[in-house]
Structure 1
Amino acid sequence: MTQEYEPEATRRETGEAESSRASRGWWDRNADEYQNEHGGFLGDDRFVWGPEGLDEAEAALLGPAESLKGRDVLEIGAGAAQCSRWLAARGARPVALDLSHRQLQHALRIGVDFPLVEADACALPFADGSFDLACSAYGAVPFVADPVRLMREVRRVLRPGGRWVFSVTHPIRWAFPDEPGPEGLSVAASYFDRTPYVEQDKTGRAVYVEHHRTVGDRVRDVVAAGFRLVDLVEPEWPAWNQQEWGGWSPLRGHLIPGTAIFVCERD
């Protein structure tokens, strides 16, 4: 029996094309496992901003729930479109976009009554000013080499006054090991090292890529794309949430932030 090759984890430079190809391949290969493992927590029609479990129903970062009716909303990195289902139930008109064909198949499996679009977030296939709101819960933003390009695309398809809200791994977490236990509580790397995290196969081809930006970088990216940052939310770990999700856990969550949510507006 041939033993399956485990990708090598490293830190190295990687560009837009390699990052996009790696992300599409990784999510197509791992969508089934991801939905099996996390689908119960995410629900079929729940809008969760991150592993802490902050609900949009509670946070209202896109605006009060009653204000969503009739609004055109683009969800980027939608996965199985759980957030879009929640939006549709409030009377919004969502479009769920993802790079991964397999993730969108899971969206179809659960059921949708809104458009699904398979496309790269850095080249949105929509006309200027198509949407009132855009959102992304851990989708696309951490995986692209040029986040400003992505955000300029988001700004292009938003109408004036439109809101763009996205969540990512909190940048401070990059200085700590990605471990949920005590071993994940000691600084192990420089927070200022922006070298991407890459998993590569035995030929050196990237199969997973994630890009690190500091908090300051993220703010500058938002501003460079033409947005105004109106809030930065760092969800606290709630007492009810006892699950571990990768490096997220109650132990770490009570001490350091795990998620950063950027609330931006297009003037």
Structure 2
Amino acid sequence: MPLPTPSQANRTFWDRDAARYHMEHADYLSSFYWCPEMLHEADAGLLGDVRGKRVLELGCGSAPCTAWLHNRGAHALGLDISHGMLSRAPSGIPLVQADALALPFADNSFDIVFSAFGALPFIGNLDAALADAARVLRPAGRFVAAVPHPMRWIFPNDPQSLTAEMSYFDGAYLEHSPDGELTYAEFHRTMGQWLRALQTNGPFRIVDLIEPEWPEDLTTTWGQWSPLRGEIFPGTAIFCCVNEKS
């Protein structure tokens, strides 16, 4: 019997982990926050005016971002691989369960495609995912992706640790069951790898790279993100791009 692919392993993981994740991150999942630094789209405006726009969210989870856009006049659609996550979305929000490596949409279907800490860090074949995102995005459409900052990779999961323990150049974190089945997969890219992948596979023209600072009044620890670390180095990278395909 074939071993699970990263997509299959992560779908099972997020189906099982949905309840814990929502209990632990209730504030973050209450609205459209880009990252653990709690940068809100209402303040950042990274997607621009969304009224009347067709918008696709990759890795929407329970779709708080999609719901926020929907309530502001966007034709917003949330996509996620996990039924367990999608089942927690608000009612009335258009949703699709699918893999970001095989988007079930026609070419040039959307004005905006974005991802807020979803899908992309869990995909081994980033080039294929970005190429498919560019395919469904119209020419000159906007693509925005918030991902864990590459700097995060070198530190352990302990949010109070400031000691670098892992190589910046290692590419994957994989968990396996006792019998060797893949149960979770997360992939790391250096900053250079992100820049090259975006510019090659859209091709996306990067118009901004945002590294949100940790707010002084934010005392919440979010996984391995914490005020201690946030004061010293960035935890999130947000790539703001324009699709330059002809």
Category of TM-score, reference length = shorter chain: over 0.9
Matched-pair identity in %: 49
Q: Which residue of 2 aligns with 1:229?
A: 206
Corresponding residue number in structure 1 for 2:139: 160
The 5-angstrom pairing of residues 151-190 of structure 1 reads 151-181=130-160, 184-190=161-167
- Is 2:170 the counterpart of 1:193? yes
Tell me how far apart the structure 2 counterparts of residues 234 and 150 of structure 1 sit (CA, whole Å): 23
Residue 52 in 1 paired to residue 27 in 2?
A: no
Moved over 4 A (4+): none
- For 2:235 and 2:23, locate their aligned partners in 1 and report how far apart those are by CA, in whole Å: 22
Question: Which stretches in structure 2 are left out of the alignment for 5+ residues?
Answer: none
How far 1:159 sits from its partner (Å)? Answer: 0.8
RMSD between aligned alpha carbons? 1.2
Of 9, 12, 16, which aligns to 1:29? 16
Aligned partner of residue 68 in structure 1, secondary structure: coil
Of residues 103, 106, 110, the one that matches 1:127 is 106
**TM-score by structure 1 length?**
0.88
- Equivalent in the alignment of 2:219: 242
Which structure's residues are more often helix, by fraction? 1
Classify the secondary structure of the residue corresponding to 2:153.
helix
Query: SS in structure 1 opposite 2:185?
Result: strand
Partner of 1:209: 185
Q: Which amino acid aligns with 1:240?
A: D
Q: Deviations over 1:139-164 (max 9, x none)?
A: 11000011110011010001111011
CA distance in 2: counterparts of 1:249 and 1:138, whole angstroms: 16
Q: Any conservation in 2 of the 1:142–1:210 contact (CA below 8 Å)?
A: yes
Unpaired stretches in structure 1, ≥5 consecutive residues:
1-15
Of residues 87, 106, 123 in structure 2, which corresponds to 1:105?
87
Contact 1:155 1:266 in 2 (8 A): yes
Aligned residues: 241
Residue by residue over 1:189-222, the C-alpha shift from the partner in whole angstroms, topping out at 9 and shown as x without a partner, is 211122x101111011111110010000000110
1:62 has 2:38 as partner: no
